[in-house]
A and B are shown apart, each in its own frame.
Chain A
Amino acid sequence: AQTIHQWPVAEIKAVGSPLSLGCTIKGKSSPNLYWYWQATGGTLQQLFYSITVGQVESVVQLNLSASRPKDDQFILSTEKLLLSHSGFYLCAWSLLGNSGNTLYFGEGSRLIVV
């Protein structure tokens, strides 16, 4: 069975400090991978997606970057955090096919920037 794991579960970081969030998918070969951001009680905003190793597409500009160094790994990072980066970061996977790109989410990483 496929599993998706995100790390860390939660972080409190200072404005201007760097950030790295990670996501690992096990049990699926060559999945599509996504990063979403959610303000408290808010909607799910897609940030990045990747269909293969080394290729990442940006959907919105939020002074964040993403990389896919391995088929099963997706990294979200920034060198300088802003207060507006606070929120819930969700990694998700899907498979190309005829299922409408059904998304399956990881457990999320909660970030508080102070």
Chain B
Amino acid sequence: GDSVTQTEGLVTLTKGLPVMLNCTYQTTYSPFLFWYVQHLNEAPKLLLKSSTDNKRTEHQGFYATLHKSSSSFHLQKSSVQLSDSALYFCALSNNNNAPRFGAGTKLSVKP
């Protein structure tokens, strides 16, 4: 069946450093990949989405590229801020099914 894997449960970084959160997936159909961000005590919000192979998608300083050859959609940012501390979910979908979410990665940014 379809699956999404986020390997890091917790990532702790100092402000200003770059970050990459890993996301890999398995599916038999043409995928849509998403990144959602959830700040403490808030609902998840869409950060990025893509279905185009090898095209970089950017929003609010975050970016990701869907690589179908490696089934990956890693989230990156060149310089993290304190306000980026949150839970980040990678999700997989197609046009017919609701997105399936990964386990989530908690990003903690220290001063």
B-contacting residues of A (Cβ < 8 Å)?
A: 32, 34, 41-44, 46, 49, 90, 94, 96-108, 110
Known pairs A32-B98, A34-B98. 8 more at Cβ < 8 A? A41-B104, A100-B93, A100-B94, A100-B99, A101-B93, A102-B32, A104-B46, A105-B43
Instruction: Give the CA-CA distance A42 to B87 in the complex, in Å.
Output: 9
Instruction: Give the CA-CA distance A104 to B49 in the complex, in Å.
Output: 13
Q: How many A-B residue pairs have CB under 8 A?
A: 66
Instruction: Give the CA-CA distance A32 to B31 in the complex, in Å.
Output: 19
User: How big is chain B's contact interface, by range?
Assistant: 20 to 34
Q: Is B89 an interface residue (CB 8 A)?
A: yes
A-contacting residues of B (Cβ < 8 Å)?
A: 31-32, 34, 36, 41-46, 49, 51, 87, 89, 91, 93-104, 106
B103 to chain A: closest residue by CB: A43
